[in-house]
Amino acid sequence: MCTNGSADCHSNITGLTDVFRVCMYSFIFVVGLVFNVLALVFFCCQTKSRSQTIVYMTNLAVADVLLTLTLPMRIYYHLGYPVHRQWLCEVLGLVLKANMYGSIFLLTCICFDRCMAVSFPMSSRVQAGRKKAPLVCLAIWMLTFGASLPIYLFQRKTRNIIPQDCFDSLPVFATKPLVVIPTLFVGFGIPLVIMLICSWGLARAVRQSSVAQTNLVDSRKIQRMIATSLFIFLLSFLPYHATLGLLSVYAENTPYPMQAAYRYSLVLACLNSVLDPIAYYFTTDTFRNKLNISAFWGMFPLNSQSSDVNNRSRMLSS
């Protein structure tokens, strides 16, 4: 309990918040980087069976890797070390936000692609559209960075932030309603509606399929996959965008609890880079079946001889 006034209370709360963010950002950086790099290695090796979903997942893993690479500087800052180059804070913030919204759009594309593949499997027009996945990914990269760059250039001209507030100051898109409303609508509202509709359509198509009535397809498993993807999306991004909406109401006079809520929700949004690879594993049969420990260790020269022996023993026993 604080006894020396509100300033000491504020300092204690800030200190606890910094410890929490250091721990969480460190966890996200280490686990997210390792998991996504492993996912990229796997996806890049799938040259023979590179489906449209694999294209989207590859770009999603790249976005998650870039996001995690911005976290060490945040960890450094929250440990109490000042960052004296404001442009570095702004560039890292730009990269983080652009890749966060890139992840949102790519997750939406994955959900939409699965829905189209299941609902219209025999449509040549749908199949031709699905083959444009690389162009869609290129458009997403151009949209996320192209839309974020003008906002940060505007922030540099209109705001004078001291180095001590590098990652603690609220960004311009969190305090200007003119920027917040399009961000909420385009960056979260439309993707959320698309994911809800596609998830409902995918679940409905699976239930009505004659194949789903047999033992060839586990419809419950597919429904769990849909629910898992939707849950991860809402858990990661709903609190952050709900906080953005509230911040736009307060504008410049933002109370400290709202600022703290924004920072916690940002941590939760960054946690998506850890949850995405877990979703790859549990919702993608190809990923789960082919990514195994023996294949991982077989990449190292020390295990090449043992793998050769195992392969020969399988040939002899067959």
Q: What size, in residues, is the chain?
A: 318
Residue 77: count other Cβ atoms within 10 Å of its Cβ: 23
Q: Residues near 282 by Cβ (< 8 Å), separated by ≥ 6?
A: 225, 228, 288
Q: Is the pTM of this model over 0.75?
A: yes
Q: Which residues contact 1 (CB under 8 A, 6 or more apart)?
A: none
Angle (CA) 89-261-245 rounded to 5° is 90
- Which region, left, alpha or beta, applies to residue 80 given φ > 0 means left and ψ of -120 to 50 means alpha? left
Closest CA to 206 of 281, 117, 109: 117
- The long-range contacts involving 68-72, CB below 8 angstroms and separated by at least 24 positions, are 68/28, 68/29, 68/32, 68/33, 68/36, 68/270, 68/273, 69/33, 69/95, 70/95, 70/96, 71/25, 71/26, 71/28, 71/29, 71/270, 72/29
**One pLDDT digit (tens) per residue for the chain, 318 residues:** 454 444 445 444 455 558 889 999 999 999 999 999 988 988 887 656 567 888 898 999 999 999 999 999 999 988 888 877 777 888 888 889 899 999 999 999 988 988 888 888 788 888 888 889 999 999 999 999 888 787 767 665 555 544 456 777 776 666 677 778 888 899 999 999 999 999 898 888 877 765 555 554 556 777 777 888 888 899 999 999 999 888 877 766 777 888 888 889 999 999 999 998 877 766 665 555 555 444 444 444 554 444 443 443 343 333
| Angle of helix 272-283 versus helix 256-270 axis, rounded to 10 | 30
The full DSSP string for 250-276 is HTT---HHHHHHHHHHHHHHHTHHHHH
d(CA 237, CA 197) in angstroms, rounded, equals 18
Instruction: State the Cα–Cα distance between residues 151 and 277, nearest whole angstrom.
Output: 30
Residues contacting residue 154 through CB under 8 Å, at least 6 positions apart: 172
Give kind and range of the element (H or E) at residue 16: helix 6-45
| CA distance from start to end of the chain | 71
Q: What pLDDT is recorded for position 17?
A: 59
Dihedral sign for Cα atoms in the order 39, 40, 43, 45:
negative
Cβ atoms of 138 and 58 within 8 Å: the answer is: no
Residue ranges and CATH numbers for the domains of the chain are: 12-288 (1.20.1070.10)
Helix (H, G, I), strand (E, B) or coil at 297: helix
- The interaxial angle of helices 52-69 and 272-283, nearest 10 deg, is 150
Distances (CA, A) of 15 to 22, 27, 40: 11, 18, 36
Q: Do the Cβ atoms of 106 and 59 come closer than 8 Å?
A: yes
